[in-house]
A = this chain, B = another copy of it.
């Protein structure tokens, strides 16, 4: 590691729990990829890539190079072995330098493979892996009211970088894109802030841009049994079991019509969500973590309206299916009409999108009262390979036949 970098950034040898939050490091290698059941960091930079090479060898070489760089950066080091300032002056640095002096800030880097990596639009087996595509890894269907921008949807590969400092998350994506130059090109990317989901029981639930707590019923990382049931892909679920211990990442860019929402009466807002704005308790009573009672009568029909968001997406109506949500709020400036271009960059990790996402999204699109204030502008699905063992590269189980 370059000396100047080491002086400023947390060392890879630091214990992950020592020092303030910004010094925190999570190991890149493990049974599962970090960034899924890791406590949610404050900032996100997410990028989807198109693969530009036809060569399986070049693709594998990139995954190897990305693995090395990701391990370095999540440990608090630079992207390359030389670093941003210690190399020869007649060569471009192997790190771009904007994170010099910044600690690892809890950085995690999580890689995923899109359906189009296996077969392109014409059905061609691009890299000799088409027979390894799990059936669940198919382009998400068109949902009612989807208004997708193709330039914010899909992708052959994805990288989710999360950290407690946006400059660290941006630095990670930028350097991985730089390393991939010529082999891959960024298709779209999205920044997010202010996590909307929790990963630990008892953690304070953050608020989305509607001002409501979001993610109360989320699968928490401490719930090992629920992770196995709802998040991690099991043995026998993928051809050759290459995805066992991995997951599926659903990304949905959800614009909120903020200004219209802000003019709705408080009582209406609460009826749309099915919870109070203050504590997040269901309208059937109790506190945030009280189970909603959908049968409790109110003054005019059930206390929780039948089209309330909390009811429409509740596990009880979907064979018990739960998600591990890891979404971020986004504000991308202002749209042409002067409204905030803002909303929720929804990320969910699920064991199978066919049981754990698609039916729930269909129910939401058909009958959720919130839909009037939402516009779905981006959509993607990726298979997230399991964790990377020492000496391996990320996704190796897919390419080792």
Contact = CB atoms under 8 A, between A and B. Distances in A.
Interface of A: 4, 43, 45, 47, 50, 84-93, 96-101, 151, 165-167, 170, 174, 177-178, 181, 185-191, 193-194, 204, 207-212, 258-259, 262-267, 269-270, 276-278, 329, 331-334, 336, 338-340, 342
A282 to B, nearest CB: 15
The 5 closest A-B pairs by CB, nearest first: A97-B211, A89-B267, A85-B278, A167-B194, A185-B338
A276 B187 contact: no
The number of times this chain is found in the oligomer is 2
A97 B277 CA distance: 8
Given A43-B193, A86-B278, A166-B194, 18 more contacts: A47-B334, A85-B278, A88-B266, A91-B266, A98-B329, A100-B278, A166-B331, A174-B262, A181-B259, A185-B338, A186-B334, A186-B338, A186-B340, A187-B334, A187-B338, A189-B331, A191-B332, A332-B333
Contacts of A278: 4, 84-86, 100
A93 B333 contact: no
A84 B189 CA distance: 33
Contacts of A265: 88-92
B194 A87 contact: no
Contacts of A333: 188-191, 332
Contacts of A276: 85
A291 to B, nearest CB: 22
Contacts of A47: 334
Nearest to A191: B331
29 contacts: A43-B193, A45-B331, A50-B338, A84-B278, A85-B266, A85-B277, A88-B265, A88-B266, A89-B265, A91-B265, A92-B262, A92-B264, A92-B266, A93-B266, A97-B207, A97-B210, A98-B207, A98-B211, A166-B194, A170-B209, A177-B340, A178-B262, A186-B334, A186-B340, A188-B333, A189-B331, A189-B340, A191-B331, A191-B332
B266 A210 contact: no
Nearest to A193: B166
Contact of A331 (B91, B99, B170, B334): B170
B211 A100 contact: yes
Nearest to A185: B338
A93 B178 contact: no
A174 B277 CA distance: 18
B186 A329 contact: no
A97 B311 CA distance: 22
Contacts of A334: 47, 186-189
A119 to B, nearest CB: 22
A173 to B, nearest CB: 8
Contacts of A167: 193-194, 207, 329
